Amino acid sequence: MDKKKNHFLRTVAGKTLLFAAINLAAILGFLCAAGAVAAIYADIYGKTEAEYYSQRNEQYTEQLVMFDTYRLLTSQFNGGELMPIKVTDSSDQIIAATPDFDLAEQSAGKPGKYQNYTLYTYNVRLIYSSAGDLKGIYGGYGSYDSGEDKIADGTVRAYTDPAMNLSLNYFETTVVHLLFNVRFLVYPVGFICLLILIAAFIALMCVAGKQPGSEEVILGPLGRFPFDILMLVSFLLGIFAILIVDGANGLAEAILAILTVLIAFNVFLGLCVSFAARVKLRLLIKGTIIYKVISLIGKLFKLIFRGLLAIPLVWQAALALAGIAFIELIGFAASNGEYDNLAILWILEKLILYPFILFVVFMMRKLKISGEKLAQGDITYRTSTKGFFGDFKKHAVNLNSVADSVTIAVEDRLKSERMKTELITNVSHDIKTPLTSIINYASLIGNAEPDDPKLNEYSEVIVRQSEKLKRLIEDLVEASKASSGNLEIVPAPLDCCTFISQTAGEYKERLDSLNLTLVTSTPEESIMINADGRRMMRIYDNLMNNICKYSQPGTRVYLTLEKKDGKAVTTFKNTSSAELNISPDELVERFVRGDQSRNTEGNGLGLSIAKSMTELQGGTFDIAIDGDLFKVILSFPVIE
């Protein structure tokens, strides 16, 4: 039910209903507020309607009497236009009186012209000028000069017909009668209207920009206009409505004023709806002309600033000095030779110029410290570029780059020295072992009798160790040629699937003897690459020999081929029998072996030779280690 309601309020009919509810609640609420203010101002609470009329007529009668008295005292009347009035002073001396006052006094209450007349008596304070002339009544009619005028007590007596002094017409009487009937009802009705107004306004803001069945916010027709323009139009329309209301005198003008206020109010509601939709889309500020103008000016200044920073530092300084000189000339011309103005300009210039110079000096000092640190060999020191700008920032970045380059060079040098030492150690160890065996067994043969049955055994050991030493020297020479690029490569189109099947056939028996299961995977179609077949088989042999030496018995060995992103990708995967606590980069170094105790067969040149040969043929050689899983990935570009 709530969803249906929500969807209905998002429709044009629902939003129109919310607009109507807000307008109706606003009108009724305004009328209730106006009625409450009028009731309080007229003091109608605690009295009857008849008492209010009586009090109102008495107040109006008093106003008429005071007005006619003022006219009588200042001679602003013609003949019998005034009601019968007599003004006396504190000693009951007559100051002024109308000709018909005595007749009205004698005939009041008797049949005739003055039958319904009633006597009204008021104590007043009379204003006398310095010349002794009456000027008016204090606190009502007439001006009073406290420096020259005098005040005296007096009494005003007037006869008038109360029925002729009714202050309210029919329309006003109807309004007062309605006000008496609803004087206590305006408060709860006004409060209810306020709640309806708030609830409808919140609902309208919630569905602003929303459509039925969608959470996407759409600005609508007003979204095409900048928000500040809409605010200006709404403000001007509000000012126009206020002027119309202020100048309304007749019924037609009152109707026009009401219509103008309603139009202005609904335009304001539309502005609020556009405001809510823009806030939801976070386009309130960006959707204004002021923001666009400021952004354009900011981009212009940024472009100018970047252009200034792009020129050499010397020219920047020259332009800055020229600008300062130009501003000084303008200041001299504007000061007209007045020393006070010149002093003010001098102070302002120094307040701007000195902090900038100090900031430049501060940046130069930081750069000087960075240079000294580098000169002293502290390659870990870095210059913070926060607060720097222009060439100073570039210089700081360059110093940090120099420090980074020195750090990398030192690390590479240390790594190279370490690897050189390890290489010499490993080569010495791998050559010394078979050579020592050859020397020892040759000595045994020399000391043995010609008919000693162990001579054949000693001879076999010498031959085996000699062959091992020969292979080591050959591998070392081949590794050196491969790494230096001096190895002969004869490329030709080859099918990678052939290498997989040939390798699987050659090593199946050996893998079975080691309790290793070979699993191969190749695509149905051929994958052709441009490579040297003899070198490729050497790569496969080295990798498979490596697998045979270091795989955990009872595990599977995976040899897969696939075409991926225009490359032939061959993957060798096996589970290592030893813990792989060495990085992939170190494994492809010469004389480095996964068995760091160096108890297994091998010289640590297999992976290095395979990597060099792969790269010489335009391929890539990658090693990945995940726990005990060892993986080699060969990639070669595919030829069609």
Of 142-146, 254-258, 345-349, 475-479, highest mean pLDDT: 254-258
Question: What are the tens digits of pLDDT across the range 493-508?
Answer: 988 888 888 888 888 8
Q: Which residue's structure tokens are 């990085």?
A: 583
User: Rounded to 10 degrees, what is the CA torsion of 48, 53, 56, 61?
Assistant: -140
Residue 176: in which H helix or E strand, if any?
helix 170-182
Asked if the model's pLDDT at residue 596 lies above 50, the reply is no
Question: Across the strands, what pairs with 123?
Answer: 155
DSSP percent split of the chain into helix, strand, coil, nearest 5: 60, 15, 25
Q: Which amino acid is at 50?
A: A
What is the reported pLDDT for 1? Answer: 42
Least-confidence region, from 121-130, 162-171, 247-256, 263-272? 162-171
To 5 degrees, how large is the angle CA 534–CA 536–CA 540?
A: 115
Between 492 and 173, the higher pLDDT residue: 492
Give how far Cα 613 sits from Cα of 416, 480, 488, 590, Å. Answer: 22, 11, 10, 14
What is the radius of gyration, based on Cα positions, of the chain? 55
Cα–Cα distance for residue pair 24/27, rounded to 1 Å: 5
pTM > 0.75: yes or no: no
Asked if the model's pLDDT at residue 56 lies above 70, the reply is yes
SS3 for 294-359 is HHHHHHHHHHHHHHHHHCCHHHHHHHHHHHHHHHHHHHHHHHCCCHHHHHHHHHHHHHHHHHHHHH
Question: What are the tens digits of pLDDT across the range 563-578?
Answer: 888 899 999 999 988 8
Distance from the first to the final alpha carbon of the chain: 64
Cα–Cα distance for residue pair 73/65, rounded to 1 Å: 12
Asked if the model's pLDDT at residue 212 lies above 60, the reply is yes
Between 230 and 461, the higher pLDDT residue: 230
Mean pLDDT of all residues belonging to the chain: 79
Cα–Cα distance for residue pair 401/385, rounded to 1 Å: 12
What is the reported pLDDT for 439? Answer: 77
- Average pLDDT on 216-244 reads 82
- Average pLDDT on 433-449 reads 72
What is the reported pLDDT for 420? Answer: 61
The strand order across the sheet containing 517-521 reads: 517-521, 556-564, 567-575, 629-637, 620-626
Of 456-460, 534-538, 581-585, 600-604, highest mean pLDDT: 534-538
Cα–Cα distance for residue pair 388/360, rounded to 1 Å: 9
Question: What are the tens digits of pLDDT across the range 524-549?
Answer: 888 899 888 888 888 888 888 888 98
Question: What are the tens digits of pLDDT across the range 280-320?
Answer: 888 878 878 888 888 888 888 888 777 766 667 666 677 77
With bands split at pLDDT 50, 70 and 90, how would you rate the model's confidence at 191? very high
Question: What are the tens digits of pLDDT across the range 375-397?
Answer: 787 777 777 777 777 777 777 77
